[in-house]
Chains A and B, each alone.
Chain A
């Protein structure tokens, strides 16, 4: 059973426009959410995170929004750049459980076209 779901396997966006990547989760005990970015033949790298007590966190071009009632989070990239083309993984962490154990979604492949 997938506790973290990224229902869009791929997304294509024009350079300069907004990229919106979505993630849904089922476990209301998750207390921390993270986005990782992965280029081919490399390991995932941390991008941005948000605590469950917040509904928005912004870092430069990247903003993560959390809607706890809907168990939904999204990553906005504005403006999108060709270098943003990668696979983006949503991940969630359990409070009081296996701390440090991240539960990942399957990823969304973002392609930003020049």
Chain B
């Protein structure tokens, strides 16, 4: 039973489309994240939510909008997709916001914009 699950795993879409990636964690964690791994292999945080409240919003275009309907879910919606959005997007969760807490990652969603 996957602790952090995200769907879809692979997504190929055209420029200008709007798409969503869903994420759910069954660990009972309070904090969830979206990370992005770009073509240069850098893994960087995009957003962090704690108990459905936005905590971290790094420098991400406002075409990216996270939504947390409850603390077990954090979905990522992307409007007007661009070629540069092609990347692997990892959802993750941790028990709380304490520094150094183990973060559990999902398997990743491979987004290709053509």
Bound together: yes
Which A residues are closer than 8 A to B by beta carbons?
A: 31-32, 34, 36, 41-46, 49, 51, 89, 93-96, 98-104, 106-107
> Are B45's CB and A106's CB within 8 A?
no
Total A-B pairs, Cβ < 8 A: 69
Given contacts A32-B100, A100-B48, A101-B48, contact A44 B107 (CB under 8 A): no
Given contacts A43-B92, A89-B43, contact A102 B103 (CB under 8 A): yes
Q: Are A100 and B4 also in contact (CB < 8 A) when A44-B43, A107-B41 are?
A: no
Q: Is the CB of A46 within 8 A of B104?
A: yes
> A89 to nearest B CB, angstroms?
7
Within 8 A of A (CB), among B53-72: 55-56
With CB as the reference atom, state the residue of chain B lying closest to A32: B100
Q: How far is the CB of A93 from chain B (nearest CB, A)?
A: 5
CB pair A100–B107 under 8 Å, yes or no, is no
Q: How far is the CB of B50 from chain A (nearest CB, A)?
A: 8
Contact assessment for A100 and B98 in the assembled complex, using a CB-CB cutoff below 8 Å: yes
Q: Is the CB of A95 within 8 A of B99?
A: yes
A64 → chain B closest CB, angstroms: 13
Q: B86 to chain A: which residues have CB within 8 Å?
A: none
Q: Known: A51-B100, A106-B41, A107-B41. Is A43-B105 also a contact (CB below 8 A)? A: yes
Given the known inter-chain contacts A100-B31, A101-B45, A107-B41, please indicate yes or no for A93 contacting B100, CB distance below 8 A: yes
Please provide the 6 A-B residue pairs with the shortest distance between their CB atoms, ordered closest to farther.
A32-B100, A43-B105, A104-B43, A99-B97, A93-B99, A100-B97
